[in-house]
Amino acid sequence: MLAAGYSKASLHRSIAEGRVIRVRSGLLTLPDSDPLVRHAVSNNGLVSCASAVKELGLWGLKDPQQPHLWVPHGRPVAGFRQKDSTVETVRHRGRLVGNKRPGAYAPVLDVVLHALRCRPPLEALVIAESAVIKRKLRRQDLLNHLPGPRNGPFRALLGKIDPTSESPLETIARELFHNVGLRAEPQVHIEGVGRVDLLVERRVIVELDGFDFHWSRSMFRKDRRRNNAAMLSGLQTLRYLYEDLVFEPDTVVAQVLSLARQAA
């Protein structure tokens, strides 16, 4: 800033007036900069785990309630101020193993490894599967950093990655059904119906509508025709939204199980 022609007096005045924020000694930012990035930089850390998935183009399950940072030190990390409350920061430690890119975000490899060790299995699978599908990582890249018995559960989780998955909803639904013993095949082509998101036990079609789903007249008409064609083929269809899978998974599983048994 000084080299660009700003005087110390003008900088101090801008800070005092709130037009510039001092993050830490020698580091300034504007008031509209990302609060999470400021929080990471002020603690000499990097945004990681579930807090980094959107920025890195990975799938996520839902926004984390607490910020996740990688920090290279053992010093306390201040709470993160959001809206009218302050929440505790989730810290990730250890040496970074991925290729660091410019900015305040941890490498993709470290973000996924942190998620595997930190987040619930279903959420971790969604994040890891997206990294492989989007070709940001290979499964083997992750396995190389998960040796020994202690990491056995994480290696087993990586074994569930399906590179044919086309959306986080498909990954979530597939895993929910597999966990109760249901066979769920993704992206199956059915004569007269077309390609469906999931075919469960070869008897029930499950269609998944994503975050940006909204009806139009043409979509409504197309889905009615597909549902009718499926019924004529002896297949019934259930449709679910993101909210159903994430917030009411038990209800979804119970309904699919019930319909699969009825169709048996």
pLDDT exceeds cutoff 60 at 180: yes
Q: What pLDDT digit, counting tens, does each position of 63-120 carry?
A: 899 999 999 988 888 889 887 889 999 999 999 999 988 889 999 999 999 999 999 9
Q: Which of 192, 160, 184 is nearest to 245 (CA)?
A: 184
**Quick one: 50 and 148 in the same domain?**
yes
Q: What is the CA radius of gyration of the chain?
A: 23
Tell me 139's DSSP state.
H
Answer whether residue 2 is part of any domain.
no
Tell me 89's DSSP state.
P
Rounded CA-CA distance 133/155 in Å is: 17
**What pTM, to 2 d.p., does this model score?**
0.84
Q: In what order do the strands lie in the sheet with 184-190?
A: 184-190, 194-200, 204-209, 236-241
Answer whether residue 17 is part of any domain.
no
Answer whether residue 15 is part of any domain.
no
pLDDT exceeds cutoff 70 at 156: yes
**Quick one: 118 and 189 in the same domain?**
no
Q: What pLDDT digit, counting tens, does each position of 185-234 carry?
A: 988 888 888 888 899 999 899 999 865 544 555 665 666 677 666 665 66
Q: What pLDDT does residue 101 have? A: 85
Residue at which a domain ends, from 108, 131, 158: 158
Residue at which a domain ends, from 133, 158, 183: 158
Residue at which a domain ends, from 128, 158, 188: 158
**Quick one: 188 and 126 in the same domain?**
no
Q: Containing domain of residue 234, as a range?
A: 168-263
